[in-house]
Structure 1
Amino acid sequence: MSAIGYELNGQVGTLTIKSPPANALSSNLLNALSEKLDEIEQESLAKVIILKGDGRFFSAGADIKEFTSLQEASDYQALAEYGQKLFERIEQFSIPVIAAIHGAALGGGMELALACHIRIATENAKLGLPELTLGIIPGFAGTQRLPQHVGTAKAYEMILTGEPISATDAYHFGLVNQLTSEEELDEVALTLATKIAAKSRPAINRVMQLLPYAKTAQFATGVQKEAEAFGEIFGSEDAKEGIQAFLEKRKPNFRDQ
């Protein structure tokens, strides 16, 4: 069974992350997502995509256990670059992608949501980049995309503390477009997607081409620097301790090394 499900309802496609219990973003899941994007482009039937998570969460982060199997800084940097490239593809996609967030969008899951064009969240959802609590840093362009949505000062606070914010706070900061109840999330996302799908495909595609120009030229440089730093930090003793503590469900004992 694929880690990513796909259904087409009229001109609205729905991608569903299916990797219980936390919908962690493993390499296999990211590959499956890339393949589904290929299919959607080739079919050219959907005019809007809804991206959601099955079960309790949208996505609670990257697959930390998979990280522990990597050895060299270059392996970690390559993983970051792969995720960055995939999420950049989503942001540059010719079809709008709406993230329908429930439960939690944390770490890599938050970075995936940031790459989507519109975000709808349930009122009780949590959003954040908790990597520093594990002694590591965001690696899928979170350090570059989050400031665009919440401002630099709030991005510093969120990333440096590692503490998630509520969907209500995310809405006030402009990170989330709409709030909804858990029960109405699918309906609200479908209503918005249907409004967009009613527009002309050529016009939609042109808008999707134009809005990314609003990103600064520094973005590509920042993303590359993030990937390099992601690789470097994973070699630190604190990163090893932080990840081990996470897996053992205990508080890490950082030694600043």
Structure 2
Amino acid sequence: MTQTRPGLDIQVSEPLGIITLANPPLNFLSVDLLGQIADAVDALDGDARVRCIVLRAAGKTFCAGADLVGGAAGESGAQGLAAIRRLYDHAARLFARAKPMIAVINGAAVGAGLGLALSADFRIASPLARFSANFVALGFHPGFAISCTLPRVVGAQRAAWMMLSADRVKGEQALEWGLVDRLAAPEALDEAALAMARQVAANGPLALVEVRATMTRGLAQDVAVTLDHELARQAVLRETADYAEGVAAVFERREARFTGR
């Protein structure tokens, strides 16, 4: 069974549920698109045929972040913040699932794209993949609960470096840090990811759900609290001259000139 929606393909190939993000060329996340991803995860979570979910992306980029300029979340004032709130409500739903999920990182996972990758239990990537929590380069605060989920995966010190330096972590280093669990050549990535998912899905479905619940105990609640805190800090920083300068610098492809205002 395959369903196709704007920006998203959903396939059930027993015992796997496969979600493909297809919003080329950069697979930016809008509020509606993330809502569709969360809906798909909910549906696969409730499908008895599915024992493991695979989240992947079409093209050369996994996800370059949230659409904070072209979409509703890019609007100023209360309307823009309300859109980010909806985005984060959808993000929280990803962490409330019961079944294991594997993310397939075929290229850049930046900002909210990194957050999306971190919502999975496991990540497999190409050596060409790169991961970036680049929020401070925009004069902004991390979102998508990255300030909670990233330290859980790579440790507090490495997470602090990624969030305070905006440094990019490439595939080999990501494997060394535990940010990804396996590497595969670009041409073999999809098949390696499906093999990884089948290895998980070959096990008892009830046990998979129970063990995952034990391993992630408290995570969904921690994510919800973190999302509230991140949104509050983002609300403050969105009104600063530094944020306006950071966004302008990205689109003008130049170095930002921050003033601390």
Length-normalised TM-score, structure 1 = 0.92
1:234 aligned partner: 238
1:120 aligned partner: 124
| More divergent stretch after superposition (243-252 vs 59-68) | 59-68
CA contact (8 A) 2:34 2:91 kept: no
Query: Are 1:70 and 2:75 an aligned pair?
Result: yes
CA contact (8 A) 1:180 1:188 kept: yes
Taking the aligned partners of 2:220 and 2:66, their CA distance within structure 1 comes to 27
1:20 aligned partner: 24
Q: Equivalent residue of 2:70, what SS?
A: helix
Taking the aligned partners of 1:61 and 1:231, their CA distance within structure 2 comes to 18
1:34 counterpart letter in structure 2: A
1:106 aligned partner: 110
Taking the aligned partners of 1:217 and 1:18, their CA distance within structure 2 comes to 30
CA contact (8 A) 2:31 2:86 kept: no
Match among 78, 94, 101 for residue 98 of structure 2: 94
CA contact (8 A) 1:76 1:231 kept: no
Following superposition of structure 1 onto structure 2, how do residues 185-196 of structure 1 map, counting pairs within 5 Å? Answer: 185-196=189-200
Structure 1 residue runs without a partner (length 5+): none
CA RMSD of aligned residues (A): 2.0
Pick 1 or 2: higher relative contact order, CA cutoff 8 A, min separation 6.
Answer: 1
2:75 counterpart letter in structure 1: L
Length-normalised TM-score, structure 2 = 0.90
Q: Equivalent residue of 1:193, what SS?
A: helix
Percent sequence identity over aligned pairs? 29
Taking the aligned partners of 2:250 and 2:190, their CA distance within structure 1 comes to 32
CA contact (8 A) 2:126 2:189 kept: yes
Q: What's the CA shift for 1:238?
A: 0.8
Distance 1:219 1:18, change over 3 A: closer
1:213 counterpart letter in structure 2: R
Structure 2 residue runs without a partner (length 5+): none
Q: What's the CA shift for 1:87?
A: 2.9
CA contact (8 A) 2:22 2:57 kept: yes
Q: What's the CA shift for 1:27?
A: 1.2
Taking the aligned partners of 1:132 and 1:225, their CA distance within structure 2 comes to 16
CA contact (8 A) 1:26 1:62 kept: yes
Taking the aligned partners of 2:245 and 2:6, their CA distance within structure 1 comes to 33
Q: Equivalent residue of 1:66, what SS?
A: coil
CA contact (8 A) 2:95 2:220 kept: no
The number of residue pairs the alignment matches comes to: 256
1:99 counterpart letter in structure 2: A
Q: What's the CA shift for 1:23?
A: 0.3
2:47 aligned partner: 43
Distance 1:141 1:218, change over 3 A: closer
Distance 1:221 1:91, change over 3 A: closer
